[in-house]
A and B are shown apart, each in its own frame.
Chain A
Amino acid sequence: MGRTLFEKIWDEHVVVAPEGEPTLLYVDLHLVHEVTSPQAFDGLRLNGRGVRRPDRTLATADHNVPTDPISVPIKDPISRRQLEVLEENCEQFGITLFPRGHENQGIVHVIGPELGVTQPGMTIVCGDSHTSTHGAFGSLAFGIGTSEVEHVLATQTLPQQRAKSMSVSVEGTTPPGVSAKDIALAIVGRLGTGGGTGHVIEYRGEAIRNLSMEGRMTVCNMSIEAGARAGLVAVDDTTIDYLRGRPGVPDGEAFEEAASRWRAFTSDPDAVFDAEVTLNAADLTPFVTWGTNPAQVVALDGAVPHLDSIGDADQREATERALTYMGLEPGTPVRDISVDVVFIGSCTNSRIEDLRAAAEVARGHQVSSHVRALVVPGSHRVKKQAEEEGLDQVFLQAGFEWREPGCSMCLGMNPDTLNPGQRCASTSNRNFEGRQGRGGRTHLVSPVVAAATAIKGRFAAPNELSE
């Protein structure tokens, strides 16, 4: 019987598989950031342990960094301290770090791929649940907690129970105006927040194959929102073309050799998955979340759900709670909901292609007078490229803020936050209560819907903007 892509990567990384115990899995690349690492480094010091493979460990500052110009000092002393501690730890243990302002600094899940250190067939971990992003390259990548961060620092391995495999196939081609983010929201809506628990998802089908690497990263990024720790896409020409010429990959002959090895990272035609789900791409439309978990999605053309349409009493209560928090009346058309803030950024949607798509919508228009709109590139490299293409000027002329790279308004750990009651159209990944700031109300959307919404001041598609 053939093997799935997940099984192939797993099998290559088994250090030992003792009877009745979890498998010890080798970690090829460990990405580190300031939030989930300080207690892990403390643990190493407390036990007199070192970092086994600094050459397989890479650190960046992202969650805490303000997106103000670098000349503005960090006001919050606790944030500042956490960034300093990361610098001290990387210095002490010999780990390469991209601190605030460094040319390679950015969101950890943006810089790994763009530097070419994320490669097919690798195992990649990071103390961040959106590590699933890197699975777009046919690598097994998942988020871990701080105890596991310490474990990987000390041993470069992790004891793991093998997950089940799930195939999520998006068949056919997507209609115009439907982006990778809409595919991701459709999948999370279909599976629910727990549907992928215990599984590694492989995304397949024509609509996935047709996505760029940026689009595949968006889809894999949101695997965790369906409960799956990892998402994967098989390697193809798109993967290899993206990697060619990046700093972390070899040149010339050596690249071609690596590429031919990478091409094996696909599921065999006769591989069997533990679960299979199929979506029809033709049915997809732009989506918006209405509630407080990412599975609560509705079409942009639709309306906030009615309570009487929900049979299950617990579900109805959860829906009621979400609607109260979100300040929404059942049955309200999505297009009638106005917003206060628009955020374009995060590890889901802050790459060059996302910014190009949003800029194309914004070009020649003006942000609505009652909306604050932020564009936050995922990394300094993305920012530089966007500026070379003139995208910053498009955004600035349309009335968007053009900010420095970081996690920004995705998670409320830096000065970019919502005020209580503010409503935000956001290209990020989580609409949990308070996620973007206490009392803030988050609606997840694609970059093009975010841009059109900023201009209209209410949820809108690009085709609603007058010429």
Chain B
Amino acid sequence: MKPVSIVEGRCVPLDRSDVDTYQIIPSDWLKRVERTGFGRGLFSEWRDDPDFVLNHQEYVGATILLAGPRFGTGSSREHAVWALMDYGFEAIIAPSFGDIFSNNSSKQGLVIVALDASDVDELNALVKRNPSLLVVVDVEHLRVEVPEAGWQRSFDLDPMTRQRLLNGWDDIGITMRREDAITRYEALSVAPTLDGIFDDAGHAR
């Protein structure tokens, strides 16, 4: 993945809680076997509504999404992350996130910023008052800033996720350096394999 140290851009206030991964990208889009082109499906059940915030002219081109608590709950579909990134989002700010969604985001370089609900409300009010405000998410220093408003908050990220984002590390490459340890583990494992259960046609023997 591409390294990311700073995300700088305008911010869209989504103003909704419990946005599950189905709302982010409906199941119909999951039939595709490609990894690109999911941006068109982002929030597609809401985007038909001209009043939906993503359709507001002042938010076109924004790179940061601001949402309510429990963003990205539900299905494990990484397509949700692909859709957000393909649309142009580089960071999501919310009070809390679904576990699998945060994990998936960290593998793709989408920055997940959890702030206290009251801080999210403050930021929400700031960008609603002035949609052209520049918001900065600083992965190096774990800070969210609105320089023009003199507003600044810090956030947590586990050290490994931060390192991976900053360096653009590929998880599989890191794990493969531990191949010897995996092989040693396998030699001692008693967990059964599928060997001998099914014949070549997949029928149980």
Contacts and interface: CB of A to CB of B under 8 A. Distances in A.
Count chain A CB atoms within 10 A of each CB in B23, B26, B33, B193 and give the residue with the most. Answer: B33
Given A35-B30, A78-B32, A145-B103, A24 B172 contact: no
A81 B194 CA distance: 27
A321 B194 CA distance: 48
A20 B159 CA distance: 8
Nearest to B203: A103
A140 to B, nearest CB: 12
B34 A39 contact: yes
B189 interface: yes
Nearest to A314: B17
Nearest to B75: A129
B45 A433 contact: yes
Contact of B99 (A28, A151, A197, A413): A197
Contacts of A117: 194, 197
Contact of B160 (A15, A21, A97): A21
B45 A197 contact: no
Contacts of B34: 39
Interface in B130-180: 158-160, 171-172, 174-176, 178-179
B99 A430 contact: no
Contacts of B18: 193, 292-293, 318
Contacts of B33: 38-39, 42, 81-82, 85
Interface in B16-48: 16-18, 20, 22-23, 26-28, 30-35, 45
Interface stretch (A52-60, A212-220, A274-282, A453-461): A52-60
Contact of A16 (B98, B103, B181, B203): B181
Interface residues of B, number: 62
B100 A47 contact: no
A127 B79 CA distance: 12
Interface of A is mostly: loop
Contacts of A143: 76, 100
Contacts of B63: none
A462 interface: no
B122 to A, nearest CB: 15
Contacts of B81: 145
B171 A159 contact: yes
B45 A434 contact: yes
B70 to A, nearest CB: 5
A147 B174 CA distance: 14
Contact of B205 (A97, A151, A247): A247
B67 to A, nearest CB: 12
Given A82-B33, A151-B175, A157-B175, A28 B191 contact: yes
Contact of B20 (A98, A144, A293): A293
A299 B169 CA distance: 49
A76 B186 CA distance: 42
B132 to A, nearest CB: 26
A261 B189 CA distance: 14
A231 to B, nearest CB: 13
Given A314-B17, A438-B26, A36 B78 contact: yes
B100 A129 contact: yes
Nearest to B181: A16
A154 B176 contact: yes
A175 interface: no
A424 to B, nearest CB: 15
A148 interface: yes
A338 interface: no
B142 to A, nearest CB: 16
B30 A63 contact: yes
Nearest to A16: B181
Q: Which 3 A-B pairs have the closest CB atoms?
A: A147-B107, A145-B104, A247-B204
Given A293-B73, A430-B75, 13 more contacts: A21-B160, A24-B175, A28-B189, A29-B191, A55-B195, A119-B192, A145-B78, A145-B107, A148-B103, A151-B175, A157-B178, A430-B20, A435-B27
20 contacts: A21-B160, A28-B191, A29-B191, A39-B33, A49-B172, A55-B194, A58-B194, A82-B32, A96-B198, A117-B197, A144-B76, A155-B175, A157-B175, A159-B174, A197-B98, A227-B98, A229-B99, A247-B197, A433-B22, A438-B45
